[in-house]
Structure 1
Amino acid sequence: MRVLAAGDNFVGPDLLESALRSELKGSELEDPEVGKLELPWPVEPFGPVGGVEEASGSEDQMIEAVDGATACATQMGPFTERVFAAAPQLELVAVCRGGPINVDLAAATEAGVSVTYAPGRNAAAAAEYAVGMTLAALRRIPDSDSELKKGNWRGDFYAYPEAGVELEGGTVGLVGYGAIGSRVARVLRAFGAEVLVADPYTEPERLRADGVEPVELESMLPRCSVVSLHARLTPETRNLLDAEKLALLPEGAVLVNTARGGLLDYTPLPGLLRSGKLGALALDVYDVEPPPADWPLHDAPNVITTPHLAGATRQTAHRAAEIVAAEVGRFARGEPQAHLANPDVRGTRT
C-alpha cells in the first residue's frame, strides 16, 4: 500500500509519516511505501483552490504527489473533482482538521473515496486561546504591554474609567457548545462566571447538567458582558451575529471570535467600538484572511487581533497526525472509519 503524507509547516509530512508507521507497526502493512509532500501553509495563507475552500498548494501539485497512492493523510491538500479524476487508485483521504473543508465531498463520494476528519484535535488549544483572548480584552493586557514598550507608564489605566473588569461574577454567553465551547464553559465557571449557552443542537438537559444555562440567542445577548463564538460555519450560521443581533449587546460588552470569520458581520464593528457600544473586540478569524491593509478595524479602538492561531499548539499537530494515522490503520485493516464525512460513499474504487 502506498500512502501519501501531504503535510505542511504545522502538521509536517515527517510527523504524518511517523504517526502512520507507528499505527501500522506489527500489522501486515507495517512497512508501507510513504510518499511525502510539504505544502506551504501556514507560511502562505490558505484559500480557495479548484472549487474547495481553505486549501494549500495546487491541483497539479496534488495530482503529481498522489499518483499511485491508495490513501492520503493531509491537512490542507486540495482534493477537488479534478484530483479525484486523476487518481483512480485512491480510496481514502484522511483530513486532520475538524472538518474536511479542503475536500469536494460530492466528488469524493461519486468517485468512491472515503473522506475522514479529526474532530477535537485542537479543542483544548482553541478553548485555552479563547479564554486567553477574553482575559486580554477584559484587562486591556495588549494595550498595557504596547504602551509600556513605547516608554509610557500608563498609570491612568488604573483609574476607574479605564480599569478592566473581572470574569468572576460576570455573565458570559457562548454561541455553540461543541468540543471547544464546552471546554470554554468549564474554565469560565472555574473563574466564577455565569455561563449562558445558545446552541439549538445541544439538549438543554445536558447544558443544565454541566452547570450552564440554555438560552435563545436573542435573549442571551442583552444579558452578557462577554460573548464568545464557538459555532460551526454553515449556511444557517453565516453572519449569525449581524448588525441587528449586535445591537442587542449591552453597552461596553466584549466580543470574542476564535471560531470562523463568517459567523460575524464585520461591517458594523468599527462604529460599535468607536461609540463604546462594544467595549472591546478580540479576533483570531476574519471574513477575509489575511485582512487587507485598509481594513477598517486596523485603527478602531480596543481591538485585539491575531492571525488565526487558536489551534496552533504542538500538541494539536501531534494529535491531528495520530487521528488521521488511526483512520489509515482502520482502512488498512478493513475496519469501519471512526469519523467518516461522506457516509453515502459505497465500496472501493475499481
Structure 2
Amino acid sequence: MSTTGTTGTTVLAAGDHFVLPRLLGAEVRKAVGGAVAVDVRELTLPWPHTPFGPVGEVIEASGTEDELIEALRGAEVCVTQMAPLTERVLAASPGLKLVCVSRGGPVNANLEAATRHGVAVCYAPGRNAVATAEHTLTLLLAAARGVGDTHTDLREGVWRGDYYDYDNCGIEIEGATVGLVGYGAIGSRVARILVAMGAEVLVHDPYVSPRALTGIAEPVTLDELLTRSRIVSLHARVTAETTGMIGAEQIARMPRGSILVNCARGALLDYDAACDALDSGQLAGAGFDVYPREPVPAGSRILTTPGVVMTPHIAGASQEVAHKAARIVAAEVGRHLRGEPLAHCANPEVRG
C-alpha cells in the first residue's frame, strides 16, 4: 500500500489490476479540485489475477477483510471496485462515511450493515454499457458465422471446404429477426446497432414501456420472442424470476438452427440444455461470455461442444470502462465533500 498526500480528508483508493488505484486516485483529485484537501491512499487488490468470490457475507469480492480494515484506518471515503465491505470491515472503520463501488451494483458491499453504520454506498451504473454492447455484437456475429469452429480448425492446420456447404453456412444480420431479453442500458444499445444493420428487433422486458421502444423494436412476450427470433441475446438481470429462464423448453421453441448469445449472467441459462441443443442442431451456434461456474471447470461440456464461441467474462472490460468507472465514483466523492446530494446512492436514507 502506498500513501499520497499529507493532510486533508483521507480517501482509500482500493483498486485492482483493471480499475487501477492510480486511476481512482487521479480522478478523485480531479473531481475534488483545490477546494478540499484530500489524502489519497492506494491499495491494489488481486483481481482479476485471482478470481473474485465470497468474502465474509458479501459476494464477488477481492482481497481480505483484515487487509481492508488496516487500509481503512482513519479513512472517511473508500473508492473501490472489488473490496469486501462486510459487517466486520464496516464495524472496524468508524470514521468511514462514504463507499463508492465502481460497478453497476454494489454487490461487494453489505448494504444493510452500511446503512446501520451510517455509511452511504454509491455505485456506477452504465459504466460498461458500451463495452458490453459491443462485445455482445462481437459474439453474436461470430456465432452466426461459425467463427469459433473455423478459427480452431485453422489454428490446428485444418482447412475445411465444407464450411461453404449450404447447410454449414452462417446467417446474415440484415433481414434477420433478433430477440433481446432485457432492454436496459446494454440491451437498448444492442438494439440500436442491430436496427442500423437492418435487423428486425423484438424485445421482451416487462419493466420497459412500449413507448420507449417506438421506432426501434417491437415489444413481445417471451414466448413470441422465442418462436419468431432466429437470434436471441440475453440482457436481463438475475432475479428469482429470471434465474434459469432459458432452458430446454424455451430453446425448443426457437426456430431450428437458431443462435443464442449470453453476455449477461450465467444464471439466466441452462447450459446443459444449450449444449444438448447445439449437439442436436436445434441451435446452430452460441456465444457465451458468462457461465454457471467461473472459471469454467475443466471437462465442462461448454468447452468441447461444437458451434460455441467463448470469452472469459470480459464483455465489460475495456480501457474506457476503467476510466469511466473511476470518473463516476470520483464525482460522488466530490459531491460528498462539497455537501451536495449524491447521484447514485443505494441507501439514500443514510444522508437524511
TM range (shorter): over 0.9
Q: Distance in 2 between matches of 1:152 and 1:106?
A: 56
The whole-number CA distance in structure 1 between the counterparts of 2:198 and 2:315 is: 23
**Is 1:40 aligned with 2:70?**
no
Matched, 1:262 2:267: yes
Partner of 1:296 in structure 2?
301
Q: Is the 8 A contact 1:258 1:310 kept in 2?
A: yes
Q: 1:189 aligns with which of 174, 189, 195?
A: 195
Provide the residue aligned with 2:214 in structure 1.
208
Could you tell me which runs of 5 or more consecutive residues in structure 2 were left unpaired when the two chains were aligned.
1-8
Give 2:114's aligned amino acid.
A
Question: Residue 228 of structure 2 corresponds to which residue in structure 1?
Answer: 223
3-state SS of the aligned residue for 1:161? Answer: helix
Give the whole-Å Cα distance in 2 for the aligned partners of 1:241 and 1:310. 20
Aligned to 2:350, the other structure's residue is in SS state coil
Is the aligned partner of 1:6 residue 2:14? Answer: yes
Structure 1 equivalent of residue 5 of structure 2: none
Tell me which of 145, 154, 157 is aligned to 2:160: 154
Q: Deviations over 1:175-231 (max 9, x none)?
A: 11111100000100111000000011110111124x200011122111111111111
Q: Percent identity?
A: 56
| Whole-Å separation in 2 of the counterparts to 1:60 and 1:294 | 36
The residue correspondences of 1:96-115 to structure 2 (distance < 5 A) are 96-115=102-121
Query: Are the equivalent residues in 1 in contact too, given 2:147–2:309 (CA < 8 A)?
Result: no
Q: Are 1:165 and 2:163 an aligned pair? A: no
- The aligned amino acid for 2:221 is E
Partner Cα distance (2:252, 2:168) in 1: 23
- How far off is 1:238 after superposition? 1.4
Distance 1:74 1:177 in 2: 27
Query: Quick check: 1:311 aligned with 2:319?
Result: no
Distance 1:346 1:167 in 2: 49
1:236-288, Cα deviation, whole Å (9 max, x unpaired): 22112133222222211111000111111223222111111111111101111
Secondary structure at the residue paired with 2:272?
A: coil
Cα separation, 2, equivalents of 1:237 and 1:107: 27
* Whole-angstrom distance in 1 between the partners of 2:170 and 2:330: 45
Q: 1:326 aligns with which of 328, 331, 336?
A: 331
- Partner residue, 2:3: none
How far apart, CA to CA, are the structure 2 residues paired with 1:267 and 1:145? 24
**Counterparts of 2:241 and 2:139, CA distance in 1:** 26
Aligned length: 344
AA aligned to 2:139 is M
**For the Cα contact (< 8 Å) 2:149–2:308, is it kept in 1?**
no
Q: 2:258 aligns with which of 253, 261, 265?
A: 253
Instruction: Tell me the amino acid that sits aligned with residue 324 of structure 2.
Output: R
Give yes or no for contact 2:148–2:308 (8 Å, CA) kept in 1.
no
Partner of 1:134: 140
Please give the alpha-carbon distance, in whole angstroms, between the structure 2 residues aligned to 1:82 and 1:128: 39
Flag structure 1 segments of 5+ consecutive residues without an equivalent: none
Aligned to 1:76: 82
Deviation at 1:345, TM superposition (A): 2.5
How far apart are residue 106 of structure 1 and its match? 1.0
Moved over 6 A (4+): none
Is the Cα–Cα contact under 8 Å of residues 208 and 214 in structure 1 kept in the other structure? no
Task: Give the CA deviation at 1:50.
Answer: 0.7
Does the 8 A contact of 1:109 with 1:346 survive in 2?
Answer: no
Within 2, Cα distance between the matches of 1:296 and 1:307?
15
Letter in 2 for 1:38: T
Q: How many Å separate the matches in 1 of 2:189 and 2:145? A: 22
Q: Is the 8 A contact 2:149 2:306 kept in 1?
A: no
2: CA distance, partners of 1:143 / 1:246: 21
User: What is the TM-score of this pair, normalised by structure 1?
Assistant: 0.96
Correspondent of 2:24 among 16, 36, 43: 16
